[in-house]
Structure 1
Amino acid sequence: MSSVLYVCVRPERSAADAEHRSFRRGLGLGMLDRLDLLHASLETVEWEQYDGFVIGGSPFNVTDADKGQHQRAVEHDLERIAARVLDGEATAMFTCYGIGVVTRMLGGEVHTDQPEQATATTVRLTDAGAEDPLFGPSAPSLSVFTAHKESARETPPGAVLLATNDACEVQAYRVGERLYATQFHPEASPQDFADRMAVYRASGYFDPRDYDRTERAILDASVDGDDLLARFPRLIG
């Protein structure tokens, strides 16, 4: 068993498989165990034996008005992982959809006023981010991919803001010493993100009429989220 578990919350198999490969590459691990929460609950694996968790993105939104049984179960399990991390028993990075789950769990507000279409963007590290063991070596800024419909309105209670930009105020934060949450996708390379665009072409993350232009911009982008991910295993233990 590896010490890190990739937790998948994507219904689309091709996107889920690709995201798994992206996280494994970015983390620099030869093996990365996987749990697909839409097909199995936490109880189906010995999840409390893992020291680290990376939670991928999803087309789900915390602000969805009509949640199905699967989505409610997924959010419950993600909250259980976050609770274990907050107890100091593991280290985790929640990305995109996951930051919404954690924000709500902490008593913060998730809103839809600052969406970002599929694009490469630069996030600025705060003073706290520059001093953080995971984010600090990337200071003063980090180039990453974003694509989301909701975000945290402000840093939730108990969290420390690590990264921001003009389009979305809360790009990353830390809770305690071991729980990280990012609005952006640190795992995706340009080709990864372009492939993901094809899966979510009609999902509202960009204007499908501008598909070719958006894809070219993605493929031409230079991002360094892998540098961030490569440091994550060093925090575990």
Structure 2
Amino acid sequence: MSSVLYVCVRPERSAADAEHRSFARDLGIPQLDRLDLLHASLETVEWQQYDGFVIGGSPFNVTDAVKDETQKTVERDLERIADRALTGAATALFTCYGIGVVTRMLGGRVTMEHPERVQAARIRLTAEGTEDPLFGPNAPSMSVFTAHKESAAETPPDAVLLATKDDCPVQAYRVGTHLYATQFHPEASPQDFADRMAVYRASGYFDPSEYAATERMVLSASVDGADLLGRFPALLGI
């Protein structure tokens, strides 16, 4: 068993496999353990033995009006991981969909008022972000990939805003010292994100008629998410 568990919440197998490879590469953990919550619950693994968790993205939305039992179970399991991080028993990094789950859990509001289409976006670190061990070395700003329909309306209670952007203000926050949440995708390289575009071509994250131009933009981008993930194991003492 490794010290970190990648938690997958993507129904699409090709996107899930690619995301796992991306996290393993950027974390520097080639044999990164994996749990697919759409196929197995937390109880199927010794999840409380892990020191760290990284939670990938998903086409699910916390604001979905109708949720099947699978999605409801996924969200309950993600909240259990967040609870463990809040106690300091483990360190967790939630990305994209996960920030919505954590925001709602903390009593914050999740909204569809700040969507971002596929893009390489420049986000600004806050004063607290520049002092954070995970984000600080990238101060004063980072370039990251975003693509989402919902987001936190504002920083939820007890959370510290680490990164922001004018048209989507809550890009990353920390709760306590062990729970992190990002709206963006830190694990995706330009090629990773271009490959993901093919899977979600008709899912509303970009205009399909502009596929070629959007792909060129993605492939020509330079992003810093790998730097952030490369520092995550050090939070665990690895």
- TM-score of the superposed pair, with normalisation by structure 1: 0.99
Aligned to 1:207: 207
Distance 1:41 1:60 in 2: 17
SS at match of 1:14: helix
- Amino acid of the structure 2 residue aligned with 1:143: S
Distance 2:73 2:103 in 1: 17
Cα distance, 1:166 vs structure 2: 1.2
Cα distance, 1:30 vs structure 2: 2.1
SS at match of 2:197: helix
* Mapping 1:166-177, distance limit 5 Å: 166-177=166-177
Aligned to 1:232: 232
Identical residues among aligned pairs (%) = 78
Aligned to 2:86: 86
1:140-191 CA-to-partner distances (Å, cap 9, x unmatched) read 0011000000000000000000000112000000000010000000000000
In the comparison of the two structures, how many residue pairs are matched? 237
Gaps (5+ residues) in structure 2? none
- TM-score of the superposed pair, with normalisation by structure 2: 0.99
1:110-154 CA-to-partner distances (Å, cap 9, x unmatched) read 000000001100100000000001000000001100000000000
Compute the RMSD of aligned alpha carbons: 0.5
Aligned to 1:54: 54
Distance 2:173 2:31 in 1: 27
Gaps (5+ residues) in structure 1? none
SS at match of 1:54: strand
SS at match of 2:53: strand
Distance 2:20 2:78 in 1: 17
- Amino acid of the structure 2 residue aligned with 1:202: A
SS at match of 1:39: coil
Where has structure 1 moved over 4 Å in runs of 4 or more? none
Aligned to 2:130: 130
Aligned to 1:140: 140
Distance 1:110 1:31 in 2: 34
SS at match of 2:204: coil
Distance 2:211 2:22 in 1: 22
